[in-house]
Structure 1
Amino acid sequence: MDVNVQLNNSERLMPFLFTIGDFLLCIPTFMNCSTFWTALHFRPKLKWSIEDPNQNFPIVDIFIVCCNEPADILIDTVRSALSLNYPKDKYRIWVLDDGKSNEISNYVEQISNKYSKPDIHYRRRFKEINKPHYFKAGNINNGLSELNRLQNELPSEYLLVQDVDMILHPDFLLRTLPHFYHDRRSQLNESIAYVQTPQRYYNVTPGDLLSQALTGVNAILMHSDSKYSSTCIGSGMLIKLSILNEINRFPVDSITEDFNFSYSIHQLGYKSIFINEDLQFGLQPESLTAAIEQYKRWCLGNYQVIRLNPCSSIHKNMSLFQFCVYFSIGIRLWYCFPQLYLPIITFIALWWRLPFILLRNVQICKITLALTWFQYILHRLVLYTLFYDIVDGHDSTERTDVEAVSMKAIATLPINPVLCIIQIVERTIQHSLWMSPFYLVGFITTLCKLPKFTATNSFPSIKYERSKLLKFLIHIAFKGLLFHILYIIFSLNLILSYILHYSKQDASRLPQSLWQILLIIVFIVSLMPPIWFILFPPQVPDRKSYLVYDNHDENKEPFIKLNPNVSLYPVTKRTTLRILILPVFIILTCIINMHQLHYNPHYILAFLIRA
């Protein structure tokens, strides 16, 4: 059956704009899925024994990079490095200070005088005025220059780069070094350039409102590892020093030196390894400003790498899979355009009461609507399945020998994998939209000036934000939050007026209108996390309450580990059920719509065109 009516230009245009929006959203979806082409890869757990007399332990240098962070955070990281289960004469610790902390320098001097081994060195970089310093990459390269002066005395083979807030597991080196070898003892694998471990965070708040656990990042790394193509993530990366000499140290043309480094390594044809073992535990920023700026820095820096290397993106030594991984991560900044396009177009369509589908043939219209609703259900199921493999496959049976975390600490992973999946997937979907306005403002800013590196822990704390609330709100509004506020206010007003209008005058238009309203509700919920964070800030305990300090032996530096009651990914049933309300409601709406579409012959008329 065909329906013939006269349409004005705006009614013809809107369905076309909706089609463009759907197509644009397919681009980031396809690019993200390109990293999931391969099966999830769990590497076998390897570990050297420190008591093995036949084991040849290589010399390792540990760089702890800091820049104006609180001194107590660095001190705890140094303590964890001093207590590594590794021959004390086989590794050195370097504190590379890009700030001006006398407390740190005094502490390093104190412990270096107290303990003969391992060697610990402090280096503060001298920065000339009006000369580029290259941020974290420049600080690491300065440390490499200092290291080269000692290579004749005690040459090292590996370099561990560690962020200032990342506490090391005692067996870090014993568990990572074996992956550089064909077997557990002697034959070195020359093609392996570095080994990367996941970053686990012990201060993630229940519900993970701002999606800070970065589970999705670990998922990409695990899939990429099946092709030896995992990228660096800034901390917990153990690197062959000979590789750094080959590429002339760390690249300095991006504020994300880790992504830039791994990009350069894979261009040379080297391989990388990612091991999904909890071997470092760090801090996520507790304030909204710091969280937003951290996400922006990652996206802007990765985009710099791709933008500055347009001709070498496809390199003869890089596979198609590696190109897709780097390209999809590098252009993630551009995803903000399609993410914002569809909410705006949906709002405009509802404001002017325009149809979002333009088909004259009833049968084709039915098929199109059914596929649209089925696609939404399938999209959720695919995401749940992908993350279920990660959560359910996260083996906890061997955690008993991990001193930093007890079995109770990770009880949410093996016992409630479904709750974890729901929270991870829904927070990830929300994050992709609510961060888009901030990415857009950051992208526009980079057109005028280059992005700057700012240490995450240098941003104001959540307590400071609350004490300067008006100043904070004005600042964050111009950074992108103004879009969230205006969209939510106008959308709620529009939904209310729209329902009242059609419920009184033309109830037959409600099926299509409700579908548009449902889309806008999805957008409102996805834009809410930063506003919810401002209205109801999470209770952030003192950092040291998460940690346990062991001072049993006065002749040794205090051993530090996580409190057994700390969960690396806290999940509560109440929070998860609240998150689950919207997707369940939408899925039920899709099912009801498809049922009505099949059994009610008049139901389709509202979706065709406005007569």
Structure 2
Amino acid sequence: MNGYGHHPTSPYGPTSPYHEEEETFELTAPQIYRNPNSFDFQFQDSVPSARPIMPIRPGHNQNYSPPEYSLPWLQPTPRMSGGPDSFPNTPYESRSASPTLVRIRPVSAACHRPSHSRGRKPYATIPMKPTKLTQVSVAIKQYQNSQLQSAQSLTNLVDTPITPSFAKEWVQTGSGSIARLDDRDDVDIWKGWKRWVFKFTPFLTFTNTGLYLFYLGLRVYCIIMAQNAAGFSYAGAWVFVAIEIAVAIPSLMHNCWTMMALKKRGRAKLRLIGNECPTVDVFITCCGEEDEVILDTVRGALDQDYPNDRYRVIVLDDGRSASLEDSCSQLAMTHSNLFYMAREKIPGKPHHFKAGNLNYGLEQSLMLPGGASQFMAALDADMIPEQEWLRAVLPHLLVDPKMALACPPQLFYNTPASDPLAQSLDFFVHVIEPIKDAMGVAWCTGSGYVVRREALEDIGNFPLGSLAEDVATSTLMLGKGWKTAYIHEPLQFGTVPEDYGSHLKQRTRWAIGTVDTAFKLKFCAWGDAVKQMTIAQRFSGFLYATLSLYTLLLTASLFAIPIILLWGKQLVAYANQDQLHWLIWACFASTIANRLCEFALFIPAGYHTGQRGSRYQLWMSPYIALCIVRSFLLPKWLGGQTQAFKPTGSLGSTLNERDTNLRKNMFVRLRVILFNFMALFHFAFVYVTLVAVAISSYRCFYTESGFKGIVICLITHAFWPPLTFLFICSSLWTPVSYAIDPPTMPQREDLLIRDPKTGVAHPTKKSKKIAFGGQAAWFEFQYEIATIVTVLIFVYSFFF
């Protein structure tokens, strides 16, 4: 939420070298082969071409004899520790798919390669140990995995829910079973009266959509009637209607999607208990982030309530940091399941950023002792997992053999009060993603997800040549008939970018990646890549791609309001007083219905979170539109290239605007944000619009006589409810207000609770929530003013 920065789902630290390197993208490479089922993406060859820069850290017996395909640099080092059963020597196709697996037939000593593993050397000859039956009654369903019948999963859950204390002792209460803790996975996030109100969302949305369409139709009818009566064209009114329609498009599209929330989401809250657990390779991808940030994620991953011999933590360091390598070596002395890898990146040859790093990890894990695990999990460098992360996500894959991927929300612990730049993504993760999950089209949001290795191989591993490899991955899986799940539990917490420039770069990269992926997937409308998608899944893919493209229209429409007002034309045309009455009444009904709909829809994320998202769409649209034009419309000889937003000029240092000790003074911040980060457009737009409103209002007082005439003139020119210019100006002013008064945040360490013995750190309870600040109060005040004015105009309409 796109290289090492992805689609709307997961910020990367601003110091990553990828943020500089990925300004130019090469989508093809000589050493990459084209998978015949991969449309325009490319996938790496199955034979790894790069090697770690240090021996992989211990996770196996020192006396282990590597299989025939092992390389010399994979030999164990003297520091390696762990018993002979520390990680079973079984390839991932032969490991238990669930803790209650019963072997259907004996497996020969030599495990056969699956048919989709063409080009790989045979797996090692490994004796298979039968798994033991669970103590709880479960039904076992056989699942055919290519030539090897080894992937099976639970179909029935434990009858009696178990309430764990989330301490390490609780995992010993059972032996290989799944507990159903609640019928809803989000039971701890929001409950009570909020759920009752949210149930009315589809009906309120339907009402709101109907009233708004009626209002727009009435506007068009009245303009036509006014033109017929007056004998001339109302150009200003036509332009204003076009603006209203343009601004309404994303809302109407979201409304259509929201009405699908009528379909009940039935994702239960599950926990995997006991020690009979499937094996997992946890990849931590990093590239130049601060060592302490990465190590907090590593320690959190090593501190899972999960048997140490059933999962490995593999640090995939694309920054080749010597200090990080040394720190991992130290940790590996006490954690035998920790490994460090760093691929060699040859200058001039595309390395495909995060997707290439993940594919490298997939290939190298095949050569680890015991082969690859059946499941792969991934964490961003800054995402600290909660202790129950694996036990909470894996059951959703185990109960359904066609479930390819399960992903929890990305949450953050360093979001400033009021979240002035709308960095939290709360509306997306708490409202949009659960609705998408109910429709069977949950996205991979880039971090914290667990994926079935078989499903990854079915699509040729992570697709290359895309800035949104996570979205592309989950979409390709859906196109192949697999399922994806969204686990609505707070299971990981990371950091948002701490400066304005990094935020712009991150979000524009997400938008470009989403559009680029949509083009390659033909907007999920047709093609072999999406042939097994449902109608709802295709509509979702189309919707979120077109919303990014829509910023072009939205940005162009912003210019219309000040132009019309300076032009001196009225925004609303009508033939007689009755038509004006009906227009005001329809506008009032639509506005109030929209307010009620927003209140109900935003409840899971918080009302103010939804409002921030609406403002964010406006002030970010010029940046996204500019990058889309550069990436997809401009030819190269005119400066066109696929890249995220890039500041103009040369910046000698960052602004450090959230650090009271290091931040630049206000004049430097204003200069950099207005000129280098092109917020001068926002500044000019707001002032031109306010001047236009003042001039238009002056004309009403100058040309009209009497209170009634002046009020009607004001209403039909600048102050037509719900004061659209006020909402747009306050939204576009965001970069300027941020430069003048940026939020202050404490040091990262102050937001964490750290175990002094183990060094494991988790965010404080307070830091996990976004505080209500003065900016949120100011925006709410403006919103209420606009609503009150709408009500007053409605009441006054009965007296003229």
Class of the TM-score when normalised by the shorter of the 2 chains: 0.7 to 0.9
Give the corresponding residue for 1:181: 398
CA distance in 2: counterparts of 1:279 and 1:311, whole angstroms: 31
Residues 264-284 of structure 1: CA distance to partner in whole angstroms, max 9, x if unpaired? Answer: 111111111111111101001
**Is the Cα–Cα contact under 8 Å of residues 588 and 790 in structure 2 kept in the other structure?**
yes
- Structure 2 segments unaligned to the other structure (5+ residues): 1-221, 633-639, 647-652
Give the corresponding residue for 2:10: none
Q: Displacement of 1:296 after TM fit? A: 0.8
CA distance in 2: counterparts of 1:535 and 1:258, whole angstroms: 36
Question: What is the letter of the counterpart of residue 21 of structure 1?
Answer: I
Q: What is the SS of the residue equivalent to 2:270? A: coil
Q: What is the SS of the residue equivalent to 1:131? A: coil
**Is the Cα–Cα contact under 8 Å of residues 60 and 157 in structure 1 kept in the other structure?**
yes
Give the corresponding residue for 1:129: 347
- Structure 1 segments unaligned to the other structure (5+ residues): 183-188, 392-419, 601-611
Question: What is the letter of the counterpart of residue 125 of structure 1?
Answer: R
Q: Displacement of 1:8 after TM fit? A: 5.1
2:426 pairs with one of 183, 191, 215: 215
Q: How does 1:302-381 map to 2 (within 5 A)?
A: 302-310=514-522, 313-314=525-526, 315-381=530-596
Q: Displacement of 1:180 after TM fit? A: 1.6
Q: Displacement of 1:371 after TM fit? A: 1.6
1:197 and 2:408 equivalent?
yes
Q: How does 1:422-501 map to 2 (within 5 A)?
A: 423-447=608-632, 448-451=640-643, 461-462=656-657, 466=664, 470=668, 473-474=671-672, 477=675, 479-501=677-699
1:558 and 2:759 equivalent?
yes
Give the corresponding residue for 1:579: 779
Q: Displacement of 1:43 after TM fit? A: 2.4
CA distance in 2: counterparts of 1:111 and 1:461, whole angstroms: 32
Change (3 A) 1:296 1:234: same
Question: What is the letter of the counterpart of residue 60 of structure 1?
Answer: V
Change (3 A) 1:441 1:466: farther
Question: What is the letter of the counterpart of residue 45 of structure 1?
Answer: K
Residues 381-412 of structure 1: CA distance to partner in whole angstroms, max 9, x if unpaired? Answer: 21211122x25xxxxxxxxxxxxxxxxxxxxx
Change (3 A) 1:325 1:473: farther
Change (3 A) 1:500 1:19: closer
1:261 pairs with one of 473, 494, 503: 473
Give the corresponding residue for 2:635: none
Q: Displacement of 1:66 after TM fit? A: 0.6
**Is the Cα–Cα contact under 8 Å of residues 339 and 432 in structure 1 kept in the other structure?**
no
Give the corresponding residue for 2:251: 29
**Is the Cα–Cα contact under 8 Å of residues 271 and 395 in structure 2 kept in the other structure?**
yes
CA distance in 2: counterparts of 1:531 and 1:472, whole angstroms: 7
Q: Displacement of 1:353 after TM fit? A: 1.1
Change (3 A) 1:34 1:298: farther
CA distance in 1: counterparts of 2:542 and 2:472, whole angstroms: 12
Residues 56-88 of structure 1: CA distance to partner in whole angstroms, max 9, x if unpaired? Answer: 201100110111111110011111011111101
Give the corresponding residue for 2:719: 515
**Is the Cα–Cα contact under 8 Å of residues 282 and 313 in structure 2 kept in the other structure?**
yes
Relative to structure 2, which stretch is displaced further, 331-340 or 154-163?
A: 331-340
Give the corresponding residue for 1:607: none
Change (3 A) 1:127 1:550: same
Change (3 A) 1:530 1:41: farther
Change (3 A) 1:327 1:473: farther
Larger Rg: 2
Give the corresponding residue for 2:483: 271
**Is the Cα–Cα contact under 8 Å of residues 627 and 645 in structure 2 kept in the other structure?**
no
**Is the Cα–Cα contact under 8 Å of residues 215 and 424 in structure 1 kept in the other structure?**
yes
CA distance in 2: counterparts of 1:205 and 1:383, whole angstroms: 23
Give the corresponding residue for 1:248: 460
1:144 pairs with one of 356, 362, 379: 362
**Is the Cα–Cα contact under 8 Å of residues 43 and 275 in structure 1 kept in the other structure?**
yes
Residues 338-389 of structure 1: CA distance to partner in whole angstroms, max 9, x if unpaired? Answer: 433443211111101102223324433432332223222222221211122x
Question: What is the letter of the counterpart of residue 281 of structure 1?
Answer: F
Give the corresponding residue for 2:268: 44
Q: What is the SS of the residue equivalent to 1:162? A: strand
CA distance in 1: counterparts of 2:665 and 2:279, whole angstroms: 48
CA distance in 1: counterparts of 2:610 and 2:335, whole angstroms: 49
Relative to structure 2, which stretch is displaced further, 226-235 or 467-476?
A: 467-476
CA distance in 2: counterparts of 1:312 and 1:6, whole angstroms: 48
CA distance in 2: counterparts of 1:358 and 1:488, whole angstroms: 25
Change (3 A) 1:472 1:140: farther
Question: What is the letter of the counterpart of residue 489 of structure 2?
Answer: E
**Is the Cα–Cα contact under 8 Å of residues 412 and 494 in structure 2 kept in the other structure?**
yes
Give the corresponding residue for 1:13: 235
Question: What is the letter of the counterpart of residue 797 of structure 2?
Answer: L
**Is the Cα–Cα contact under 8 Å of residues 402 and 482 in structure 2 kept in the other structure?**
yes
- Which has a greater percent of helix? 1
CA distance in 2: counterparts of 1:596 and 1:231, whole angstroms: 48
Q: Displacement of 1:465 after TM fit? A: 7.0
Give the corresponding residue for 1:168: 385
CA distance in 2: counterparts of 1:468 and 1:301, whole angstroms: 34
Q: Displacement of 1:25 after TM fit? A: 2.6
Question: What is the letter of the counterpart of residue 102 of structure 1?
Answer: A
Q: Displacement of 1:227 after TM fit? A: 2.4
Q: What is the SS of the residue equivalent to 2:406? A: strand
Q: Displacement of 1:571 after TM fit? A: 2.3
**Is the Cα–Cα contact under 8 Å of residues 62 and 91 in structure 1 kept in the other structure?**
yes
Q: Displacement of 1:21 after TM fit? A: 2.1
Q: Displacement of 1:249 after TM fit? A: 0.6
Q: Displacement of 1:480 after TM fit? A: 4.1
**Is the Cα–Cα contact under 8 Å of residues 134 and 253 in structure 1 kept in the other structure?**
yes
Q: What is the SS of the residue equivalent to 2:761? A: strand
Give the corresponding residue for 1:58: 278
Question: What is the letter of the counterpart of residue 404 of structure 2?
Answer: A
Residues 120-159 of structure 1: CA distance to partner in whole angstroms, max 9, x if unpaired? Answer: 1211222222222211111111111111222x72441111
Relative to structure 2, which stretch is displaced further, 245-254 or 314-323?
A: 314-323
CA distance in 2: counterparts of 1:80 and 1:587, whole angstroms: 47
Give the corresponding residue for 2:330: 110
**Is the Cα–Cα contact under 8 Å of residues 290 and 459 in structure 1 kept in the other structure?**
no
Residues 272-317 of structure 1: CA distance to partner in whole angstroms, max 9, x if unpaired? Answer: 1111111101001111111121111111101111112227533331
Q: Displacement of 1:116 after TM fit? A: 4.5
Change (3 A) 1:440 1:273: same
Change (3 A) 1:460 1:304: farther
Residues 194-216 of structure 1: CA distance to partner in whole angstroms, max 9, x if unpaired? Answer: 11101110111111111111112
Q: Displacement of 1:225 after TM fit? A: 1.1
Give the corresponding residue for 1:398: none
Question: What is the letter of the counterpart of residue 160 of structure 1?
Answer: A
**Is the Cα–Cα contact under 8 Å of residues 224 and 230 in structure 1 kept in the other structure?**
yes
Change (3 A) 1:531 1:7: farther
Q: What is the SS of the residue equivalent to 1:159? A: strand
1:544 and 2:749 equivalent?
yes
The aligned length equals 547
CA distance in 1: counterparts of 2:682 and 2:587, whole angstroms: 26
Question: What is the letter of the counterpart of residue 103 of structure 1?
Answer: S
CA distance in 2: counterparts of 1:476 and 1:319, whole angstroms: 46
Q: How does 1:522-533 map to 2 (within 5 A)?
A: 522-533=727-738
**Is the Cα–Cα contact under 8 Å of residues 232 and 259 in structure 1 kept in the other structure?**
yes
